[in-house]
Structure 1
Amino acid sequence: MAPSLRLLLALLCAAPAFGLPTSPYEVKESVNPPHGWVQHSTAPPEHSIELRIGLPQPNFGILESHLYEVSDPDHHRYGQHLSKEEVEELVAPHPGSLDAVDEWLAFHGIQEEDISRSPAKDWITLSLPVELVEKMLDTKYHVWKHTKTGDYIVRTTSYSLPIHLHEHVDVIQPTTMFSQFKPFRSTISKVEAAPATSATDSLGSLVNPATGLTIDASCNVTITVSCLQQLYNAVGFTPSAKGNSIGITGYLEEFASIADLEAFFVQQVPTAENSSFKFVSVNGGINNQSDPGFEASLDVQFAFGLSHPIPPTFFSTAGSPPFIADDDTPTNTNEPYLNWLDFILSQEKIPLSISTSYGDDEQTVPESFAKRVCADFAQLGARGTSLIFSSGDHGVGDGDSNPATQTCFTNNGKNETKFIPTFPATCPFVTSVGATDNVAPEVAVSRFFSGGGFSNYFSRPSYQDPTVPNFLSKLAPGTFEGLFNPNGRGFPDVSAQGDRFEIIVGGQAFLIGGTSASAPTVNGFISLLNDVRLSKGLPSLGFLNPFIYKKGFAGFTDILSGHNSGCGTTGFNVTKGWDPVTGFGTPNFGKLKELVLETGA
């Protein structure tokens, strides 16, 4: 070989990989379409896709170490949460990744003015037509139809990137994500007209044998704010609200009516009359007062009713993934959830506790995407915010069928039968909430089944090591062998009442149930606990799980009856201590307020 040719080859090999925008393509990610989705037609070439590119976070391990230190009640740094700027510095991508991706985008005619970047520059967002995205990702998009719901989405089952880009890109969506992000409330048949008698009418009293607390017998029929205060030992507590805050997320055009909230307050929380919430629009989200939703009403009425007068915020994020196949004007088909994360992470001040009553089967969310979203949750926890999620309403099964008849097939192309965990409840950086029923004693909810089990994506976090193996040791040898991942993150962490909540929608009273009720309930009580700490000059609780698993469990009432059916099985049984049905049980505010003052004081 001539010297000049050898020199040229040497220079090419030594050049940065990002200088080769036309390097050969290689598959980055591929999936089998989840059950129920069928290919409908070719995606219109002009259809607009809001493409999101997640760049690697090389220092995320350092952020995770900080998160656990500031969340460990026995660590000297407990409560020393990080600032927005400190978190952004730790999740920023390497400059080489930024250069590589920017050059690839420029190669396809995309300039800086076409790009939106997250504050840490770890996410890139850009709106592009399908035909260009197909060229960039060497793929083909199709319109897919869900046979049960009739929803349409624009997705591909595989995409590729130039080989040199693989190390510079974690994830690109929407590509392979077939998630049907939805509220975790029981099916609409569970929403029924409230009884003619007022929920506050007394039917005598009952004593919870586990706590010794007296509760109105009417709470076995209808759950009100007063019932929750009685059941969870918070009667008579009034927060100061100084420096505190609480938030609720709203999606999929679920709107929260101010008039309905006022009517709810008149009926159940008279001290909150003439108060409301701060409304925050995310990505153009609205709050249509003429179209109140059951989910939004449930969330804001109970979370804000329990926590009044702590300043409340309702976030409405625009975006509804289904695509109308015969619409002449193509619309966005991205999931709205990441829009909220982009927004909240860019804010200097964020609520100290936030609950979300939405999610989906973990297997419908590509693992790469789930892990990046989970990493974003870690950022919020490091900044001092408690994130609370519903665990789901379909036991150990999927959300597409009756728990008693679910087949629970995997999406790995093998059609294996396995339990189907729920995301985002399986993320180890959030607190997952299951559901209970009855008041004397409480049991795992029976009208539907509290979501719970073990993640197939996330390994068991260290804070669960002293606890979850104890539950697994109680299972008879071979129980559900091969149906779940015993090394996965177990969920839920805790639970709360989740059925027959009386809410006001469109001026009328209804009863509603689901872990969608349990999550805002726990949110309300965490907000009260934050108030206890803030009133003593202590920081907010932040990421809850290390505290709960190390000390806080002593402030929860163990649930000892029930199970969570699904996949043609009875699911897991409730046991003494933590279990993947009700977690550590339900809150005892009187005990918890003492425990949170013993920590980090």
Structure 2
Amino acid sequence: MRLLLDFVVFSFLVSSTFAAPAKECAYKIKEEIASPPGWTKRSKAPAGHLISLRIGMPQENFHQLEKQLYEVSDPAHERYGQHLSKEEVEALVAPHPISLSAVNDWLNGFDLKEEDLVRSPAKDWITVTVPVKMAEKMLDTTYHIWKHTASGDQLVRTTSYSLPSNLHAHIEVIQPTTIFGRFRPDKSMISIIEDAPATVVSDGSQISAGDSGITVDASCNTTITVSCLKQLYNAVGVVGSGASSIGITGYLGQFANIQDLQSFYADQVPAAVNSSFTFESINGGLNSQNLSQAGGEANLDTQFAFGISSPTPATFFSTAGSPPFNPDTTTPTNTNEPYTDWLDFILKQENPPHVISTSYGDDEQTVPQSFAIRVCAGFAQLGARGVTLTSSSGDHGVGDGNPNPATQECFTNDGRNLTKFIPTFPASCPFITSVGGTTHIPEVAVSRFFSGGGFSNYFARPLFQELAASKYIASLPKGTYAGLFNPNGRGIPDVSAQSDRFRVFVGGRIESIGGTSASSPTFAGFVSLLNDARIKAKKPTLGFLNPLIYSLGVSGFNDITVGHNSGCGTTGFNTSVGWDPVTGLGTPNFQKLKEIVTSF
């Protein structure tokens, strides 16, 4: 089964070699985009500005990796749970020697030596840092400084680049070139930050959680705590044994404060007081412990993911780097999306955490499809190794990143300016479990902000989701949103969890935070507990989760049938019985899921 689009077919590599050195071949456009809406071209980029080019070569046997990924992730397959080793994965994504030779010759033509290059373990990526002047020669292009009209952010980018014609078969993508994503804190899916009461007041009364038969403390309808989540999702008294592991990604100067974590534990998870997490710095990423620099996003993610799964070993990854270009600084600026730097790091690790959550993303269309496919392939490598990845589905319904639905401009950036719903990436990658948002008890799709959802324009609908998504689309009244979404695309999200009024400690203050930022680490925390149950039963970790949850796991979710996800001047999609592009399959019932995942 082939999910990713436009991968190069390699049969020609067996019988052919490139005909001439790269310098003797005419350049031909490799990738070209229209001028991105909302951005204005300013001046030429400074010739001496350093830019880190990431060169992605074709992964010759990715189709084999994908096949094996589905085999080890499908509970009906005899290979279920037989995850691949780091070395096995690297062998499957390694480029063909002819591609390596062709690209090496091309780089040598610019006097770039091996010591100038940084290669990924599988050698499918090469990173080289060069001045803009050299990058322009290498790619036969001109870089400019582009300014985002609404925010003032600036990027060094081009709208077209070329390669020698004989290299097109040996290089899939080079970035940063045509990527105009805005990977920044206001894209990190946090929607609400408010002061919260010093204490949670409970009179002991209970409210029904709905058809599950579960009752929850009434205070949980105004404030969400770890206790509320464990009550709501049928995991009261469940704690980790330390057998599993969990990780949280942090970007853009979002620091997880340990003092705040201790305050959170004292308030909500007393048994975890004096425990902490392992800190991993990537590309010089920091984790300042100055209370004034505590990050709402980082604290939300770590406090709830680690609080739910405690005492599971936990890791916080801080990745340095930010796309916006600062013309007033003389220091090198890494203008790649920082999650690719995180991928570089995590794929090198022998034992990455068993489940990892991220709460950051971009509008899918701002990430060139060729680049999105390669990043998604990196997530597939982690899944094949037994790592579960969860990601926020977004906070703007079917709309773009504009937090005000009334002013969203949902237009394609391909030069045609067509009105379209805007899915998010990396949530649209089929190898990630995308997590939408709910609120209130009984649960409904979140309404104060909007659970991101819809259908990918880049990734075809995977087989594991075909039945559920096709049934939903067939239920839509004829002509509903015709032309506004891709009816054959991968559906978003896969599942949901509470995402509003989370009680978080930030910089010594107590705040109420909402967003699918909250739902992704919450769901990851419960997946970690499921991994713990499987390990105790002498079974392997869950790894890539989606084939399981869309088959045997369906009965382990609380179906959400009230709500919608407005955006683009519409009410968006409605929830329904079964899967829907608002809340996915629903929210977890831990005990049911535990029974399912320990039964095979």
The answer to whether the 8 A contact 1:185-1:517 is kept is no
1:335 is displaced (CA, Å) by 1.9
1:132 aligns to 2:134 (yes or no): yes
Cα distance in 2 for partners of 1:328, 1:374 equals 33
- The aligned residue for residue 259 of structure 1 is 259
The answer to whether the 8 A contact 1:249-1:315 is kept is yes
Cα distance in 2 for partners of 1:186, 1:202 equals 33
The answer to whether the 8 A contact 2:459-2:489 is kept is yes
1:454 aligns to 2:490 (yes or no): no
User: Are residues 18 and 227 of structure 1, via their aligned partners in 2, closer, same or farther at CA, if it must alter by over 3 Å?
Assistant: farther
1:568 aligns to 2:595 (yes or no): no
One-letter amino acid of the structure 2 residue matched with residue 309 of structure 1: P
Cα distance in 2 for partners of 1:367, 1:223 equals 38
Secondary structure, counterpart of 2:318 in structure 1? strand
- The aligned residue for residue 424 of structure 1 is 426
The answer to whether the 8 A contact 1:143-1:152 is kept is yes
User: Are residues 496 and 406 of structure 1, via their aligned partners in 2, closer, same or farther at CA, if it must alter by over 3 Å?
Assistant: same
Cα distance in 2 for partners of 1:361, 1:116 equals 29
Secondary structure, counterpart of 2:378 in structure 1? helix
- The aligned residue for residue 226 of structure 1 is 227
- The aligned residue for residue 361 of structure 1 is 363
1:321 is displaced (CA, Å) by 1.1
- The aligned residue for residue 4 of structure 2 is none
Cα distance in 2 for partners of 1:349, 1:322 equals 32
Identity %: 64
Deviations 1:456-506 (A, max 9, x none): 000000101121110001000000000000000001000000010010011
1:31 is displaced (CA, Å) by 1.2
Cα distance in 1 for partners of 2:579, 2:203 equals 34
Cα distance in 1 for partners of 2:94, 2:176 equals 22
Mapping of residues 76-225 of structure 1, within 5 Å = 76-183=78-185, 190-196=192-198, 198-199=199-200, 201-202=202-203, 204-225=205-226
The answer to whether the 8 A contact 1:17-1:100 is kept is no
Cα distance in 2 for partners of 1:100, 1:24 equals 15
The answer to whether the 8 A contact 1:55-1:93 is kept is yes
1:405 aligns to 2:400 (yes or no): no
1:165 is displaced (CA, Å) by 0.2
- The aligned residue for residue 484 of structure 1 is 485
Cα distance in 2 for partners of 1:294, 1:567 equals 28
- The aligned residue for residue 8 of structure 1 is none
Mapping of residues 195-594 of structure 1, within 5 Å = 195-196=197-198, 198-199=199-200, 201-202=202-203, 204-242=205-243, 244-290=244-290, 291-439=293-441, 441-594=442-595
Deviations 1:331-389 (A, max 9, x none): 22222111110010011110000000000100000000000000000000000000000
- TM-score between both structures, scaled by the size of structure 2: 0.95
One-letter amino acid of the structure 2 residue matched with residue 289 of structure 1: Q
The answer to whether the 8 A contact 2:189-2:360 is kept is no
1:154 is displaced (CA, Å) by 0.3
Secondary structure, counterpart of 1:434 in structure 2? strand
Deviations 1:541-594 (A, max 9, x none): 000000000111110000010000000000000000000000000000010000
Deviations 1:199-249 (A, max 9, x none): 26346210112211110111110100000000000001122112x100000
- The aligned residue for residue 6 of structure 2 is none
One-letter amino acid of the structure 2 residue matched with residue 582 of structure 1: T
Number of positions where the alignment pairs a residue of Structure 1 with one of Structure 2: 583
1:325 is displaced (CA, Å) by 2.2
The answer to whether the 8 A contact 1:27-1:161 is kept is yes
The answer to whether the 8 A contact 1:23-1:162 is kept is yes
Higher alpha-carbon deviation: 263-272 or 284-293: 284-293
Secondary structure, counterpart of 2:405 in structure 1? coil
Cα distance in 2 for partners of 1:522, 1:321 equals 29
Matching residue within 74, 77, 93 for 1:75: 77
Deviations 1:43-102 (A, max 9, x none): 000000011000001100000000000000010100000000000000000000000000
Cα distance in 1 for partners of 2:189, 2:25 equals 50
Higher alpha-carbon deviation: 153-162 or 397-406: 397-406
Secondary structure, counterpart of 1:167 in structure 2? coil
Higher alpha-carbon deviation: 17-26 or 339-348: 17-26
- TM-score between both structures, scaled by the size of structure 1: 0.95
Runs of 4+ aligned residues of structure 1 deviating over 4 Å after TM superposition are: 183-188
User: Are residues 421 and 29 of structure 1, via their aligned partners in 2, closer, same or farther at CA, if it must alter by over 3 Å?
Assistant: same
Mapping of residues 37-76 of structure 1, within 5 Å = 37-76=39-78
Name stretches of at least 5 consecutive residues in structure 2 with no aligned partner: 1-15
Name stretches of at least 5 consecutive residues in structure 1 with no aligned partner: 1-13
Cα distance in 2 for partners of 1:112, 1:309 equals 44
1:182 is displaced (CA, Å) by 3.4
Secondary structure, counterpart of 2:52 in structure 1? strand
